[in-house]
């Protein structure tokens, strides 16, 4: 049942040309149909496969196995290790982005020459292709001639081969790419804080730390939270950067999913893992949209 | 009290400016490094200690675009003298440009770049045009379950590409769409469509309804009002959305890696794949990277006032 926003359905203007109802459906339904055909339908298709034993590479029809794929995945220590790696990656990388990004915003939240240019330049990393960024950070990290080892004076430090080092190395690249995102949101929050609050705090001789804790932080918090949720979701899906930089050492869930589906061709099992990932992502998306709408309403 | 704040700001100012300069230089140094590598002589790209001062040359770009083989023996001086400057540059590096007749053979790079361009442009046009009309529909008309529909639309964007790629790969295989331009165009359109709807809804919400209402009273139909009043008003928003969609498609890696390998392969999976064989020629890879990143860098400057809106799907405006 449609309720029209602007016009009475019986009015003269609404009667000319197509009705508003027709136009609304004509404008909205193709998009919905497109997304159902190319997103939802394929997902239902793979939901079916997740209950079967099926390999694309073989000419055998899919064989129904019920919940066996799910049960095996959840009992597989390898998969849990992938989830642990991903969780560690999320914590290091998103934590770093929040600190660096918010720090940058506090630094930039003052007048200085060429402010617009500097802010835009700092934003550049997050617009670049993660695959290509991963590639050239590999060059920077090279143990024997990379400029990072040379600049830090740490000899032939292996950034990308051991598991712990690689996790941090990839996370550092991710922090470089995405701190600007946190900075952008924080700057928006900081610039929206009314100046008179700081003036009042100055009259009351409040300490800098007290002012920060009681005025700055609470007022930027909603936007920081949005940045946190969004980056957490993206880091959970991390594929491009770790895949290019260090497939073997930083095996995130997305990478093991890729390997299971497109290198091992274990389609049934991969579909089941895809569904586990999907449910996690949808939960985070739900939280994200809730907060997004909350901030929007203010 | 105004004096208090300004005095404290004055106190921190020189220090803060130094900090801003240092931070900016540190942040941009990786980009500077890859860009400078693209102009380095080959032996200086991986030298120890790293080369900072060097005589820039464009040889890496010539190598990027041509097919070459190692020279087995020294070039005949007469041949060398007769060669154009760009061919001499390749000879100087101990290699020879492969030719068909007199025409130099092109490497795969221009083809991959072209694939990226055509796929990004077409998918952007589709995603933005569908997104704009859908956004108008959501902005101006009420609908039952509107919030749920909008959430559904956004959630399709959040799906990890690898998750979507598993069933899509199976379907593409049966429709013979793997490694085709149209296959990637469909995927990128779907991926960008939800973003485009959300971002455009933000822009269209800002156009006062009264404009159209006045036009309707003047005898326009709703469609005429949309095309003649709303679209021109939304032009900036459409342009910003298009640039965002273009960048997303241009940068996309996972789908391209899975769905293409030759004919329709785009630059993001191609550029890293050059490392695989033998000793990587970093100067040439850097040259390819620089050309690939350049359009995005330019677009980032054009977009600078819309970045916040773009990264929050239109939810937060300035």
CATH number, domain of B127, equals 1.10.3720.10
Q: Is A279 on the interface with B (CB under 8 A)?
A: no
Is residue B136 domain-shared with residue B241, that is, in the same domain? yes
Within-domain flag for B53:
no
**Average pLDDT of chain B to the nearest whole number:** 91
Q: Compute the distance between CA of residue A251 and CA of residue A267 in angstroms, rounded to an integer.
A: 19
ipTM of the complex in this document: 0.90
Q: Which of B47, B216, B297 sits opposite A124 (nearest CB)?
A: B297
Is residue B181 domain-shared with residue B238, that is, in the same domain? yes
Chain A interface test: which of B40, B46, B156, B162 (most A C-beta within 10 Å) = B162
* Per-residue pLDDT tens over the stretch B87-129: 998 898 888 899 888 889 999 999 999 999 999 999 999 999 9
Q: Does the distance separating the beta carbons of A16 and B158 come in below 8 Å?
A: no
Rg (CA), chain A: 25
Within-domain flag for B205:
yes
Number of domains in chain B: 3
Q: Does the distance separating the beta carbons of B130 and A31 come in below 8 Å?
A: yes
Q: Which of B47, B170, B316 sits opposite A188 (nearest CB)?
A: B316
> Helix and strand tally (H, E) in chain B?
17, 4
Q: Does the distance separating the beta carbons of B308 and A188 come in below 8 Å?
A: yes
Within-domain flag for B56:
no
Token pair 């490094």 is at which residue?
A: B33
Is residue B147 domain-shared with residue B253, that is, in the same domain? yes
Mean pLDDT, residues A287-298 taken together: 81
- What was the pLDDT predicted at B37? 94
Q: Which of A6, A42, A123 sits opposite B168 (nearest CB)?
A: A42
To which H or E segment does residue B103 belong? strand B103-104
- What was the pLDDT predicted at B53? 87
Domains parsed from chain A with CATH numbers? 20-48 (no CATH), 76-297 (1.10.3720.10)
Mean pLDDT, residues A66-77 taken together: 95
Is residue B211 domain-shared with residue B120, that is, in the same domain? yes
Is residue B32 domain-shared with residue B125, that is, in the same domain? no
Q: Has residue B4 got a pLDDT over 50?
A: no
Chain B interface test: which of A3, A34, A104, A187 (most B C-beta within 10 Å) = A34
Is residue B75 domain-shared with residue B194, that is, in the same domain? no
What's phi and psi for B68, nearest 5 deg?
A: -135, 160
Is residue B276 domain-shared with residue B179, that is, in the same domain? yes
Q: Is A161 on the interface with B (CB under 8 A)?
A: no
Is residue B115 domain-shared with residue B99, that is, in the same domain? no
Q: Compute the distance between CA of residue B292 and CA of residue B199 in angstroms, rounded to an integer.
A: 26
Chain B interface test: which of A96, A139, A283 (most B C-beta within 10 Å) = A139
Within-domain flag for B62:
no
Q: Has residue A159 got a pLDDT over 80?
A: yes
Within-domain flag for B297:
yes
Is residue B114 domain-shared with residue B95, that is, in the same domain? no
**Average pLDDT of chain A to the nearest whole number:** 90
Within-domain flag for B94:
yes
Last residue of a domain, one of B104, B126, B154: B104
Within-domain flag for B135:
yes
Q: Compute the distance between CA of residue B167 and CA of residue A251 in angstroms, rounded to an integer.
A: 22
- What was the pLDDT predicted at A1? 36
Within-domain flag for B51:
no
Is residue B132 domain-shared with residue B16, that is, in the same domain? no
Instruction: State the smallest CA–CA distance between residue B241 and chain A in angstroms.
Output: 14
Q: Is B294 on the interface with A (CB under 8 A)?
A: no
Q: Give the CA angle between residues B57, B54, B43 to the nearest 5°.
A: 75
Is residue B11 domain-shared with residue B155, that is, in the same domain? no
The residues with which B69 forms a beta bridge, in sequence order, are B96
Chain B window 162-181: which residues touch A at a Cβ cutoff of 8 Å?
A: 162-171, 173
Chain B window 38-67: which residues touch A at a Cβ cutoff of 8 Å?
A: 46-50
Q: Which residues of A touch B213 (CB under 8 A)?
A: 6-7
Is residue B79 domain-shared with residue B223, that is, in the same domain? no
User: Containing domain of residue B164, as a range?
Assistant: 109-311
Q: Compute the distance between CA of residue A34 and CA of residue A181 in angstroms, rounded to an integer.
A: 30
pTM here?
Answer: 0.92
Distances (CA, A) of B134 to A51, A167, A286, B130, B317: 36, 42, 22, 6, 20
- What was the pLDDT predicted at A125? 96
Chain B window 203-242: which residues touch A at a Cβ cutoff of 8 Å?
A: 209, 212-213, 216-217, 219, 221-224, 226
Q: Does the distance separating the beta carbons of A240 and B31 come in below 8 Å?
A: no
**CB-side neighbour CA atoms (13 Å) of B31:** 22
């Amino acid at each position: 049942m449609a309720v029209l926003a602007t016009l009475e359905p019986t009015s003269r203007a609404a009667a000319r040309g197509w009705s508003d109802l027709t136009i609304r459906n004509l404008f909205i339904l193709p998009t919905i149909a497109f997304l159902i055909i190319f997103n939802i339908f394929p997902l239902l298709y793979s939901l079916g496969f997740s209950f079967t034993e099926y390999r694309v590479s073989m000419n055998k029809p899919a064989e129904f196995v019920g919940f066996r794929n799910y049960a095996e995945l959840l009992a597989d220590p390898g998969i849990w290790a992938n989830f642990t790696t991903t969780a560690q990656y999320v914590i290091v990388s998103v934590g770093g982005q929040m600190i660096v990004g918010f720090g940058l915003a506090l630094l930039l939240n003052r007048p200085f020459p060429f402010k617009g240019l500097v802010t835009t330049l700092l934003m550049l990393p997050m617009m670049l292709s993660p695959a290509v960024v991963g590639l050239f950070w590999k060059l920077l990290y090279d143990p024997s001639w990379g400029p990072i080892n040379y600049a830090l004076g740490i000899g032939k430090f292996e950034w990308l081969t051991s598991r712990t080092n690689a996790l941090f190395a990839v996370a550092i690249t991710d922090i470089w790419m995405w701190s600007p995102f946190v900075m952008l949101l924080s700057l928006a929050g900081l610039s929206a804080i009314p100046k008179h609050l700081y003036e009042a705090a100055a009259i009351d001789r409040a300490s800098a730390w007290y002012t920060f804790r009681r005025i700055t932080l609470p007022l930027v918090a909603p936007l920081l939270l949005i940045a946190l949720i969004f980056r957490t979701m993206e880091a959970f899906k991390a594929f491009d950067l770790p895949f290019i930089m260090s497939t073997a050492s930083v095996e995130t869930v997305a990478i093991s999913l890729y390997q299971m589906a497109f290198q091992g061709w274990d389609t049934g099992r991969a579909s089941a893992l895809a569904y586990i990932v999907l449910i996690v992502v949808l939960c985070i998306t739900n939280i994200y949209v809730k907060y997004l709408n909350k901030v929007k309403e203010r | 009290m105004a004096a208090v704040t300004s005095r404290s700001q004055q106190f921190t100012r020189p220090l803060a400016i130094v900090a801003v300069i240092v931070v900016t230089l540190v942040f941009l140094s990786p980009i500077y490094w890859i860009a400078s590598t693209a102009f380095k002589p080959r032996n200086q790209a991986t030298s120890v200690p790293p080369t900072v001062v060097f005589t820039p040359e464009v040889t890496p770009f010539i190598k990027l675009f041509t097919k070459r083989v190692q020279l087995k023996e020294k070039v005949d001086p007469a041949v060398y003298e007769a060669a154009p400057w760009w061919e001499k540059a390749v000879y100087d590096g101990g290699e020879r440009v492969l030719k068909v007749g007199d025409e130099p053979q092109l490497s795969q790079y221009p083809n991959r770049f072209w694939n990226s361009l055509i796929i990004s442009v077409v998918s952007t046009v589709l995603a933005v045009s569908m997104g704009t009309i859908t956004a108008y529909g959501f902005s101006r008309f009420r609908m039952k379950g509107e919030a749920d529909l909008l959430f559904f639309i956004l959630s399709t964007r959040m799906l990890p590409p690898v998750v979507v790629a598993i069933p899509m790969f199976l379907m593409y295989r049966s429709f013979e769409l793997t490694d085709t331009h149209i296959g990637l165009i469909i995927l990128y359109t779907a991926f960008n469509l939800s973003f485009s709807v959300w971002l455009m809804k933000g822009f269209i919400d800002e156009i006062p309804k009264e404009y159209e209402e006045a036009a309707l009273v003047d005898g326009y139909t709703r469609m005429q009002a949309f095309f003649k009043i709303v679209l021109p008003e939304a032009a900036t928003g459409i342009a910003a959305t298009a640039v965002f969609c273009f960048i997303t498609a241009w940068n996309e890696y996972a789908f391209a890696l899975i769905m293409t390998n030759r004919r329709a392969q785009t630059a993001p999976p191609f550029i890293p794949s050059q490392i695989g064989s033998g000793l990587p020629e970093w100067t040439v890879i850097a040259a390819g990277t620089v050309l690939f990143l350049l359009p995005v860098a330019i677009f980032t400057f054009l977009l600078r006032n819309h970045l916040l809106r773009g990264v929050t799907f239109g939810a937060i405006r300035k």
